Structure 1
Amino acid sequence: MRVGDTLPPSRLDRSGYRLAVDERFDGPELDTARWLPHYLPQWSTPDRSAARYTLGTDGTRGLTLRIDHDQPAWSPEYDGELRVSNLQTGVRSGPAGSGSGQHPFREGLVVRTPQPEQRLWLPHYGLIEISLVPCLHPRALTALWLIGFESTPEQSGELCVVELFGRDIRADGAGRVGVGVHPFGDPGLRDDFVQVETAVDLRRERTYAVEWMPGAARFFLDDELIAETGQSPAYPLQLMLNLYELPDGNPRDPAEYPLEARVTGVRYSQPVA
């Protein structure tokens, strides 16, 4: 991965792309033909995997992902006290009791709620952009990942478009932006992930993007190149848009909730043939 001073200055050039999806979350209801409001539901139960969110209320544009004080841990059986509000654009699993399901993040997982195959929105190469304001709570993680649908176990690589830990954003707004590639079960990829230091005020709405090409990916913050890699998944990927609360052993003070992250847009542009 090349980052920072090792990169020549470069701005995002959209001239080779055609806008195909412009999701502004401005309808009265979530578009469930595109988004499933559950996090890896095969490893959990519907009451625990369900996202908490609002759309454009009280004059706020877009989507607000939320974690409330009374929100249950998403899968205490497998992931302890982690809490998540997530929207994803595909899902599949094997039958209950099997070990077949997307993103098997640890050994010994068993399907608890079987999922029929849903390929809602699976881009394959192109430009993916998200405009967001992250949650600044020190236990919060705001992220957009692209993961393989895992039609076969090898098609499981990930492109991390943006990963923002509240603890990594300082009082003046400067901090670290996580981007990169994780192979998981893809033998054709190697782990190549970085946290890029930036003086940009990350507390404000910013646009994060990945230019996903065959054998390469370029990552942008407000249209400025911040990192690039000479590899990429070679198969369709689904979106995983999420707000996490990461357990840290401290009590969960009701006065600190809700935790919120705001997303004002997600865009996908296809390469012009």
Structure 2
Amino acid sequence: MKVPDSRITAFSRYTLAFNDGFEAPVLDTSRWLPDYLPQWSSRAATEARYTLTGDSLILHILDDQQPWSPEFNGNVRVSSLQTGVFSGPIGTKLGQHRFTPDCIVREAQEPVRLYTPLYGYFELRAKCRIAPHNVAALWMIGFEDVPERSGEICIFELKGGNVGAHQATIGYGIHPFGDPALVDEFYEEAFALDVTEFNTYAAEWTPTAVHFFINGAHVRTIDQSPAYTMQFMLNLYDLENVPSAGSEFVVDYVAGYEPMGR
């Protein structure tokens, strides 16, 4: 079993609750749903394209892949895994990550909570070979069974146009969406790293703050915190509906530690 980087924080306070090194020949559907926000489209239209190598997960955008929600998100194509899903009935506006006011439920989803922690330490080890029209990311979003439980912790976001020869601009931070208790605090900063090789990106989420790390180094603390359970969203986007066959988001592991006694 792959073990996350235990140097970063005091793991005596935490217990390992989620750890997927993608070493099985098939996706572990007790951990991941292979669809992207299907309530705003359908499971069939949002199915992820991916390869399991026996040692990693590779998210792709393939040439025959169609935009996931032309009605609400235009030409954007995406391959994504998530650890929960929730929506209201067809025709309502109740659903996770309502990224535009126009979103209306097109396919109702039964609630599924595969992994929806409240506080902890969460880590991704990954590398990216992506084009300027691609975005690779790991976020946590509120389960959003109540619309105000809709904040986002972005652990890692990489836009393909922000990749240089010896550095890359990495996005991370908090977006409130519909949570009135949060304010937008999102950062894009240049770091001296090669994103085509494996790096770790992590966040420690506490009741009062979120601490962000890259390759074991603390990069920032944000002094606000969502106060409800959240789920993982692991995704690769093509924003322009252009050929993306060579683009890959290669994930070595995703892990989650939760506070002892929770």
Corresponding residue number in structure 1 for 2:249? 261
State the alpha-carbon separation in 1 of the partners of residues 51 and 56 from structure 2. 8
Question: Residue deviations 1:104-161, cap 9 Å, x none?
Answer: 1112222111101111110110100000012321111110000000121111111000
The runs of at least 4 aligned residues of structure 1 exceeding 4 Å deviation read none
State the alpha-carbon separation in 1 of the partners of residues 94 and 75 from structure 2. 23
Q: Which amino acid aligns with 1:132?
A: A
Corresponding residue number in structure 1 for 2:153? 159
Q: Which of residues 231, 237, 241 is equivalent to 2:230?
A: 237
Q: Which of residues 51, 54, 67 is equivalent to 2:48?
A: 51
Alpha-carbon contact 1:135-1:141 (below 8 Å) kept: no
Q: Which of residues 111, 114, 118 is equivalent to 1:120?
A: 114
State the alpha-carbon separation in 2 of the partners of residues 159 and 221 from structure 1. 15
Question: Residue deviations 1:149-203, cap 9 Å, x none?
Answer: 012111111100000111101123x011111000011111000000121112222
Q: Which amino acid aligns with 1:229?
A: I
3-state SS of paired residue (1:48): coil
State the alpha-carbon separation in 1 of the partners of residues 119 and 86 from structure 2. 21
In the TM superposition, what is the alpha-carbon distance from 1:84 to its structure 2 partner? 0.3
Corresponding residue number in structure 1 for 2:131? 137
In the TM superposition, what is the alpha-carbon distance from 1:100 to its structure 2 partner? 1.6
Tell me how large the CA RMSD over aligned residues is. 1.5
1:62 lines up with 2:56 in the alignment:
yes
Corresponding residue number in structure 2 for 1:18? 15
3-state SS of paired residue (2:91): coil
TM-score, normalising length: structure 2: 0.93
State the alpha-carbon separation in 2 of the partners of residues 160 and 56 from structure 1. 26
State the alpha-carbon separation in 1 of the partners of residues 69 and 246 from structure 2. 20
State the alpha-carbon separation in 1 of the partners of residues 47 and 170 from structure 2. 27
Structure 2 unmatched runs, 5+: 1-6
Q: State how many pairs are aligned.
A: 254
1:214-225 matches, within 5 Å, as 214-225=207-218
In the TM superposition, what is the alpha-carbon distance from 1:101 to its structure 2 partner? 1.1
1:111 lines up with 2:85 in the alignment:
no
In the TM superposition, what is the alpha-carbon distance from 1:213 to its structure 2 partner? 0.5
State the alpha-carbon separation in 2 of the partners of residues 14 and 63 from structure 1. 28
Structure 1 unmatched runs, 5+: 1-10
3-state SS of paired residue (2:92): coil
Alpha-carbon contact 2:94-2:147 (below 8 Å) kept: no
State the alpha-carbon separation in 2 of the partners of residues 220 and 110 from structure 1. 36
TM-score, normalising length: structure 1: 0.89
Corresponding residue number in structure 1 for 2:176? 183
